[in-house]
Amino acid sequence: MEALKPLIAIVLFAIGLKTNAQVAVPEPVSGKNLTKEYITQNLVYPQADLKQGNSGKVVVGFHVDAQGDASHYQVKSTFSEAASPIALHLVKTILWKPALISGLPSDYDFEYEVNFNAKSYKRYWKRRERLVAPLVLEADTSYKIYEYKQLNEVAKPYFADGGNMGKYIAANLKFPPEAKEREIQGTVRLSFVVETDGSVSNIVVVNSVGGGCDNEAIRLLQETIWTPAEKNGKYVRSNNMQDITFSIGSRNFQDGNSY
């Protein structure tokens, strides 16, 4: 028995290390808040539930590996069978940072809740117009994301008035007061995914300027709709980049002044 004591101590120590290991669960690459905004903007409420005022949540479970790749999706619980495929689709479009266990990327089983609130949904869309690009092709359902060089036709921003991205930015950019006051300028670079329906997801700031410029660049991008990329006759998901420049001395398009 005396001979076993050192071995027992080692086992207990190892168990203690595992128990006390610091765990950071998987997080969306865009961050929690931006991901919630994406869900809100792209949630399509089941008409029967909306009419009846039914509200609730759908819990989607999945596995995130040490590289951040998610798989094995399944609906764990739902308030409505009609809401399940809607929530499942949205969760499948989210990209993830892996869990960290004691600082190391690790496999992790995770759950994400998609909330359906009939009153909030009606209020949100009463104040806004849902933008939709004219789509003529079938959508690829693999959820694979393509790079430029892999595509037959790359994604392009769609504007109903025929404008382009440069004109849209010029007409809608609001120079942040903090950046103006501190004379902050520069180019915010955003990476993002254009989904098969033309919506923008997984926005990440690649080059930050600060002073409120990052948030303003994100706002501008969030309010765009795109014609999706094409591959083998289908609309596919694609990785994209967008630069938005904040320049002191150029026109401030919100109030017409120069800084």
**Domains of the chain by start residue, with CATH:** 19-126 (3.30.2420.10), 138-246 (3.30.2420)
Looking at residue 111, its pLDDT comes to 98
- Counting Cβ atoms within 10 Å, is residue 104 exposed (0-12), middle (13-18) or buried (19+)? exposed
CB-based contact 161:258 (threshold 8 Å)? no
* Paired strand residues for 250: 248
pLDDT, tens digit, for every residue of 134-177? Answer: 999 999 999 999 999 999 999 999 998 778 999 999 999 999 99
Res 112: pLDDT: 98
Q: Which residue has the tokens 């995770």?
A: 110
Residue 87 CA neighbour count, 13 Å, CB half:
26
pTM: 0.87
Please, what is the end-to-end C-alpha distance for the chain in angstroms? Answer: 81
How long a stretch of residues is the chain? 259
Residue numbers in the chain where pLDDT is lower than 50: 7-18, 251-259
For the record, the structure tokens of 185 come out as 């300028």
